[in-house]
Amino acid sequence: MDTTWDCIVVGAGAAGLSAALVLGRARRRTLVVDAGEQSNRHADGIGGLLGNDRRAPIDFYAAGRAELATYPTVELREGDVVGGRRDADGFVLELADGSEEAAQRVLLATGMDYRYPPLEGIEEHWGHSVFHCPFCHGWEHRDRPLAVVDRGRALLLTAWSDDVTLLTDGPADLTSEERERLDEAGVAIDERSIAGLRGPDGTLTAVTFTDGSERPCGGLLVPVTLHQRSPLAAQLGAVFTEPGPLFADALAVDATSATSVPGLFAAGDAAGAMPSVANAVASGNTTAAMVVMSLTTAPRGLDPDATVMDVAVPPIREELGSPSSS
Ligand SMILES: Cc1cc2nc3c(=O)[nH]c(=O)nc-3n(C[C@H](O)[C@H](O)[C@H](O)COP(=O)(O)OP(=O)(O)OC[C@H]3O[C@@H](n4cnc5c(N)ncnc54)[C@H](O)[C@@H]3O)c2cc1C
């Protein structure tokens, strides 16, 4: 029996599970390897995911896994992919237990590491009452006294509460126009230096300041930067995008979700999809379809000198047949 997988999906978050479902339904022999550290696993619920709104992430991932278990072509394995190389037939990935698995295609759905500001006490509140995305968690914190340390999004937060304070963590270099706009929107400005966050069991009750004072607070919006969590893409030689305000190093992909390495695809946060579970599901879905197309139309082996488009996806119109040819 051929021991080469059609595709190995690395990561079983929303993107990886969604991709594996499409691959399994397309009868592609698919191995999913997952280290079980989905970025939102500590959050109370998933906000804004149609059909699963406010569902606990752990339940959502379990449901995805249960759906995959009904497809005999998909195998899900717990573990870490610690290394990989490309060869003429495709890829060989090395797992933490020392085993190796070969595949014609690899789909990276490895997610990103969300880095937040180093505020004392932030870790125990992260994903509960301290959040980076008001669309995900604003509803649960509506009408409370909210604070924000991200000046670019202070006005946005007024969608969820009339009691919003911009914390500048020291004297702010805001222009008079900026101060006026914030004032008009009812956003207070607090220029005290932040000492930390206080509140029991992940429930923020106050922001404390270095002068010993504090401000009651029922929710805090912070900025984050997203960084590759896995070194695998770099090891395989993939190219990354230039650092931006949100993504420090997203994988560069083309319109077919192909990376710069022929046969290597990427989906979800790792590929710079706008970070949300819905977008990760969508990205996994379309990326898997591209992988299936590339598997069914490209020669089995990967020419090491081939360009991305040689082995990725042929023009879709050609594949489906143009209207005039039907
Ligand atoms: C605290 C928090 C709360 C959030 N809340 C919401 C919300 O309410 N609503 C919403 O829509 N979005 C929310 N998001 C954003 C959302 O969670 C992400 O956009 C989405 O989960 C990305 O999915 P993904 O599959 O790309 O990555 P992830 O879900 O991060 O999954 C990646 C998986 O790959 C695995 N992995 C990585 N490297 C390897 C490797 N080398 N070998 C094996 N496995 C590996 C990881 O362990 C992980 O299981 C939140 C994010 C955070 C951080």
- Token match 């922001």: residue? 207
* C-alpha pair distances (Å), 1 with each of 14, 248, 298, 300: 31, 42, 22, 16
pLDDT at 319: 35
Strand spans (E) along 16-115 = 30-34, 74-78, 81-87, 90-95, 100-108, 112-115
> Does 138 have pLDDT greater than 70?
yes
Domain 4-114+225-325: which topology? Answer: FAD/NAD(P)-binding domain (3.50.50)
Q: Using one digit for the tens of pLDDT, what is the confidence trace for 60-97?
A: 999 999 999 999 999 999 999 999 999 888 999 999 99
279's enclosing H/E stretch is helix 277-297
296 CA distance to ligand 1 middle (Å): 29
The 10 Å CB-count burial string (b at 16+, else e) for 227-256 is: ebbbebbebbebebeeeeebbbbbbbbeeb
Out of 40, 137, 226, mutate this one to test ligand 1's pocket (max ligand atoms within 8 Å of CB): namely 40
Out of 17, 95, 110, 257, mutate this one to test ligand 1's pocket (max ligand atoms within 8 Å of CB): namely 110
Mention every residue, 6+ apart, whose C-beta is less than 8 A from residue 179.
Answer: 189
User: Which architecture, in CATH terms, is 117-221?
Assistant: 3-Layer(bba) Sandwich (3.50)
Other Cβ atoms within 10 Å of 2 Cβ, number: 7
40 CA distance to ligand 1 middle (Å): 6
> Does 310 have pLDDT greater than 50?
no
> Does 231 have pLDDT greater than 80?
yes
pLDDT band at residue 321, thresholds of 50, 70 and 90?
very low
For the chain, give the percent of residues with pLDDT over 90: 88
pLDDT at 146: 98
pLDDT at 35: 98
39 CA distance to ligand 1 middle (Å): 4
DSSP code for 193 = P
Model pTM score: 0.92
Q: Using one digit for the tens of pLDDT, what is the confidence trace for 203-215?
A: 999 999 999 999 9
pLDDT at 309: 44
- Is 255:289 a contact under the CB 8 Å cutoff? no
> Is the pLDDT higher at 41 or at 88?
41
Region(s) of the chain under CATH 3.50.50.60? 4-114+225-325, 117-221
Lowest mean pLDDT among 284-288, 300-304, 317-321: 317-321
> Does 313 have pLDDT greater than 90?
no
134 CA distance to ligand 1 middle (Å): 17
Ligand 1 pocket at CB < 6 A: 10-16, 33-40, 43, 46-49, 80-81, 109-111, 114, 126-127, 133, 136-137, 229-230, 232, 268-270, 275-278, 280
pLDDT at 261: 95
Distance, CA of 227 to CA of 229 (rounded, Å): 6
Q: What mean pLDDT is predicted for residues 1-21?
A: 93
Q: Using one digit for the tens of pLDDT, what is the confidence trace for 150-197?
A: 999 999 999 999 999 999 999 999 999 999 999 999 999 999 999 999
Distance, CA of 231 to CA of 248 (rounded, Å): 14
pLDDT at 299: 53
pLDDT at 3: 73
* C-alpha pair distances (Å), 121 with each of 124, 125, 129: 6, 7, 12
For the chain, give the percent of residues with pLDDT over 70: 90
Q: What mean pLDDT is predicted for residues 115-144?
A: 97
Mean per-residue pLDDT over the chain, rounded: 91
pLDDT at 315: 38
Q: Which atom of ligand 1 is nearest to the CA of 11?
A: 34
112 CA distance to ligand 1 middle (Å): 7
Written as one string, the DSSP assignment of 133-156 is -HHHHTGGGTTS-EEES-GGGHHH
- How many angstroms separate the first and last alpha carbons of the chain? 38
- Is 180:162 a contact under the CB 8 Å cutoff? no
pLDDT at 87: 87
Nearest CA to 146 out of 188, 113, 176, 198 is that of: 188
> Does 322 have pLDDT greater than 60?
no
Q: Which atom of ligand 1 is nearest to the CA of 16?
A: 25
